[in-house]
């Protein structure tokens, strides 16, 4: 029984240790990944620069309401001198803490890269939801139950401000 309990605790801690958050997750450290959340009032652009050439090898304008999460993995690059490491990344909905970083590119070693953080001019508002019902006061836009012809009233909606 002790072995089962110990195994469950280790599994739980390893799951918590793999989460990504702006504060670093369960046990924050410098090698555990980076998360940047973009909002309407603070739209972000993240660049990762090769300090040897002063050129960005990765740059992304993160859309508002999304987050960029990335991590650097030592080894696995395509050039043992210029790009010996790999950068894995993903763009998720803001607030996501667990998932697979399913994109990758080769990158310079740790001593030759820098992360630049830019706040773009805002606010940037997200595109309106095309499926949202808009209220109008035009007679042609009214449902049948709200006209002089009458009609069956639909069941009560669970959407806020929809009844």
Residue by residue, pLDDT tens for the chain (163 residues) are 577 777 666 655 555 445 665 655 555 555 678 999 999 999 999 999 999 999 999 999 999 999 999 999 999 889 998 999 999 999 999 988 888 999 999 999 999 999 999 999 989 887 777 777 676 677 777 777 777 777 887 777 766 665 5
Contact residues for 160 (Cβ-Cβ < 8 A; gap 6+): none
Give the global pTM.
0.65
Residue extents of the structural domains in the chain: 2-119
pLDDT number for residue 26: 52
Largest distance between two CA atoms of the chain: 78
**End-to-end Cα separation, the chain, in angstroms:** 55
Angstrom distance (rounded) from CA 23 to CA 55: 28
């Amino acid at each position: 029984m002790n072995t089962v309990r110990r195994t469950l605790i280790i599994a739980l801690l390893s799951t918590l240790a793999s989460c990504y958050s702006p504060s670093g997750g369960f046990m924050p450290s410098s090698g555990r990944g980076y998360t940047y959340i973009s909002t309407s009032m603070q739209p972000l652009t993240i660049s990762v620069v090769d300090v040897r050439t002063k050129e960005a090898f990765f740059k992304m304008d993160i859309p508002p309401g999304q987050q960029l999460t990335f991590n650097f993995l030592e080894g696995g690059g395509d050039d043992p001198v210029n790009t010996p490491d790999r950068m894995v990344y993903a763009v998720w909905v803001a607030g996501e803490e667990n998932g697979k970083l399913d994109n990758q590119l080769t990158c310079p070693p740790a001593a030759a890269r820098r992360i630049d953080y830019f706040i773009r001019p805002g606010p940037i508002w997200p595109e309106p939801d095309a499926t949202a019902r808009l209220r109008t006061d035009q007679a042609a836009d009214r449902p049948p139950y709200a006209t002089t012809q009458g009609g069956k009233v639909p069941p009560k909606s669970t959407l806020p401000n929809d009844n």
